[in-house]
Each structure stands twice: as structure tokens, then as C-alpha cells.
Amino acid sequence: MKLATLKNNTPDGRLVLVSKDLARVADVSHLAPTLQYAIEHWPSLESALQDVDRALNNGSLDTALPFDPSAAAAPLPRTWQWLDGSCFLSHGELMQQAFQLEPIDDMERIPLVYQGAGDDFLGPCDDVVLPGDEYGIDFEGEFGVIVDEVPMGTTAEQALDHVRLITLLNDVSLRALGPREMKTGFGFVQAKPTTSFAAVAVTPDELGDAWRDGRIHLPLNVSWNGEWFGHPHAGAMNFGFHELIAHVAMNRRLSAGTVIGSGTVSNHDRSVGSACISERRAIEMIDFGEIRTGFMRFGDRVRISTTLPDGSELFGAIDQRVVAPPAT
């Protein structure tokens, strides 16, 4: 199933199912008014949602309407908890090499995770409004999972049973503000503004064989101002989502609706490009001894998507601009 949330002037929007070709939607708010509600009541709702999904995709649902991604919020417009990992070690290794950073102890054994702001996610076509473009605006293409309630102490072997949905996101970063916050040891606040999501979150079966070993074995495609930027493969994730879930649930319960991100998708093979500007800048520093690529400026646009082997887009695309606040 593919699920989305349409904006309706409420904080949590209205839940719909989306057809496999991303062309039509079916209102399922009579079953679950919001995606948060659906995740919290998944065992009792899944069968009824699947019935609507079959009718939507076989053309027998008379009430289906066209799908407009610009009308979509993030699948979860807000949630109790947003945790983001850094599960592609090639990304961290490039940063260390380029900027002569000290290696992080046990990074090959223990995943890095920070807790971000989950109270105000952006939809796929929403502008990213920021206070200034001098702060090193960067996109970060990532995948994420949405879990139901995860008990404290859940093991990696048990963790994937709690993954209800998979999604695609842009973890926007302000790179100029990051170094100081990292030095404090208190984590990111100003360096991590609102995160953006693709319109659609999908059940794991929608990925077929591309969902295995707790990893999404698909490329993530990024373009910046209409030009190719990268297509790194997410199968290179060093820690699978099952390991990431077990790590963050070691000493606490995760609420239903918790979103967990993979971190920037990155590959050792440089020919595939990158999913964030910071990584390209690190490569330039290594290869040329200087940085040649600037960060985003107001008016710039980023597009992030992923495709199945048949060429179809799985989640729809994140396609958005960074802009200044409206004049007052």
C-alpha cells in the first residue's frame, strides 16, 4: 500500500491511499482520520485498508480522485519522535579525510544517531523557508522508516516486525552552524531546520526484493537546479534499519509513529555522485585541494526521488525550493 496525507487546514491532515502509479487517491479517513491513528491501530485497520487499496488499483473504486503531490503534506506532518542516523560510513570517512577530523570511536560498530525536531515536517513541494542563505544550506537525500510501538530492549532480529512504512526524505542542513553544535556534545538544533518528506510512504511489500536485510536496495536520485547531482545506492548502508531500531530502543520504548532516518545515502564509488553538497565539497578538497562547489542559495531547487527497476517512481519526488521568509 501507498499512503499519503492531504492538507486540510488541520495539523495532521487527512489520510488517503495512493494508487501504485501515483495517479489516483482514495479517501480512507472513515477508517483512520490520520496516518498517526493508522500506525497506532495498524493490526485492526490493515485488512480494511488493503480492501480499499485493491479496489483503488483495479479500477473498481468510483470515488477515486486524481492525486496532486502539491496538495500533500509529509505523510506524517508531525510525530512524537524523529531520529536520524548516519549509517553510510563512506560519508563520514570522506569528511574525516577532507577536513582532517579525528575519527569517532567505534563508528564501525555503533551507529551514530541524533534526535531532531518531529513537530513540523514539510511536504514534497513545500518551499523550505530559512532565515538566510549564508548559513551553508545543504540538502541530504535519505530513506526512513516509520515504526509502530517498539518495546524497550527490542533486538535487531525482532525489529523489522515493527516497520510499518518506508519513506524518502530531505534532511535539510545548515552546515555553517553545525561545527559549533557538534563541539558542544549536545546535538543539533540550529543546524537542522525542518525536514522534508516525499508525498508517499509505502508498506515494505511495495519494494519487493529491494527490501531485504533491513536495507533499501535502490538508488537515490538527486538533481540540483535541474542538473544531475548523484544516484548513490542505498544498499550500501553499513547498519541496516533493524540494527538502527535496536540501537535506539536499547533503553527506551519508541512510540508508534517514530520516524528513523538512514542518514545521507553515500557510496565509496565516487562515480555515482553524492546525495548532499557537503560530500561533494569533501571530494573536491581531497582531489583538488580546494572547495569548488558552494551551498544552496535562495531560489535554488532540489529534486530527490527513487525508482524501481521498471522505471516507476516509488514515493513520488521531493521537488522544492529554498526561499527567504515573506516580507513583513
Residues of the chain scoring pLDDT < 70: 98-100
Q: What's the CATH code, domain 82-323? A: 3.90.850.10
| 78 and 118 Cβ atoms separated by less than 8 Å | yes
Average pLDDT, the chain: 94
| 174 and 136 Cβ atoms separated by less than 8 Å | yes
- pLDDT tens digits for range 248-258: 999 999 999 99
Model's pTM, two decimal places? 0.95
Q: How many residues does the chain have?
A: 328
| 20 and 2 Cβ atoms separated by less than 8 Å | yes
Of 318, 326, 252, 302, nearest to 139 by C-alpha is 302
Residue 27 pLDDT:
97
| In the chain, domain spans | 2-67, 82-323
Amino acid at position 286, single letter: I
Mark 271-292 as b/e (b = at least 16 C-beta within 10 Å): ebbbbbbbbbbbbebeeeeeee
Burial class (CB in 10 A: 0-12, 13-18, 19+), 144: buried
| 94 and 287 Cβ atoms separated by less than 8 Å | no
